[in-house]
Amino acid sequence: MTQNPRIAFLASSTDGAQDAAAKLTERYGQAEPAEADVICTLGGDGFMLQTLHRHGGLGKPVYGMKLGTVGFLMNHYRDDDADDDLLARIAQAEPAVLRPLEMIAATESGASVGSLAYNEVSLLRQTRQAAQIRIDLNGQTRLDELVCDGVMVATAAGSTAYNYSAHGPILPLGSSVIALTPIAPFRPRRWRGALLKADTEVRFRILDPYKRPVSATADSHEVRDVVEVTIRESKDRTVTLLFDPEHNLEERILSEQFVV
């Protein structure tokens, strides 16, 4: 990275994030994302995911600062950051390379919808009736029928989010593993999911889509009334997040496993 990188400051709509963006822009200037050397996001994890979906294709490293409710993917923001040497923090930051999941969802109407997920792809029942889902891995049926509220596939970075709330495992960063986790499984009642190689192709088939409709969500992009959902790790898309050395993403994921 250049000694004086061009920074694109992107802020969520909250007053705190907007105020911080104004202070930082006045001190360091403002570049368009496509022209920047680094993108600096100001907000919470939700805004970080929005930024990755919107600008991840640019290949720019992203340094986030928490000015939102949840900030697992963010660095700390201090009130005096506008007077601090942000350039030094960025220069000393440690990179974490994330590879998202690719989702292709086929709907009852015959449409095919694609989307990326940096945290997880989740399937959820749309009505009071439990979903009935068949699970294929690399073209082979592994579970003939999962009766459940839903099921998800989570990345390592996303394993501490919805996946963990559903009692799924926390995955070490760089483990090349993804988590397949059921949500409130009714049958098989004792099935708790599986750990899969990251290059595994996961296919969910909805067994009764008309009586028991299901939606699929890649991060925050929802597709309703799906009949089949295929998920695989992206082969050509990565994003790089930057973290302060004392609290990098690998350390955060490890620390989450010792919270009591």
Per-residue pLDDT of the chain (260 residues; tens, 9 = 90+): 556 899 999 999 999 999 999 999 999 999 999 999 999 999 999 999 999 999 999 999 999 999 988 788 999 997 765 556 899 999 999 999 999 999 999 999 999 999 999 999 999 999 999 999 999 999 999 999 999 999 999 999 999 999 999 999 999 988 899 999 999 999 998 899 999 999 999 999 999 999 999 999 999 999 999 999 999 999 999 999 999 998 888 888 888 888 76
Q: Write down the catalytic residue from 15, 19, 45, 84.
A: 45
What's the pLDDT at 84? Answer: 61
CA–CA distances in Å: residue 185 to residues 120, 125, 189:
18, 12, 6
CA–CA distances in Å: residue 188 to residues 125, 157, 203, 212:
17, 28, 18, 18
Please provide residue 52's backbone torsions phi and psi, each rounded to the nearest 5 degrees. -65, -40
What's the pLDDT at 247? Answer: 81
pTM: 0.90
Multiple choice CATH, 7-98+238-256, 3.20.20.150, 2.60.40.10, 3.30.565.60, 3.40.50.10330: 3.40.50.10330
* Residue 157 annotated as binding site: yes
Active site (annotated) includes residue 83: no
* Residue 115 annotated as binding site: no
What's the pLDDT at 187? Answer: 95
What's the pLDDT at 150? Answer: 98
* Residue 84 annotated as binding site: no
In the chain, domain spans? 7-98+238-256, 101-233
* Residue 106 annotated as binding site: no
What's the pLDDT at 48? Answer: 95
What's the pLDDT at 32? Answer: 97
Q: Taking the domain 101-233, which CATH number applies?
A: 2.60.200.30
- pLDDT (tens digit per residue) in 150-178: 999 999 999 999 999 999 999 998 889 99
* Residue 45 annotated as binding site: yes
CA–CA distances in Å: residue 169 to residues 95, 177, 242:
23, 11, 24
CB 103 within 8 A of CB 122: no
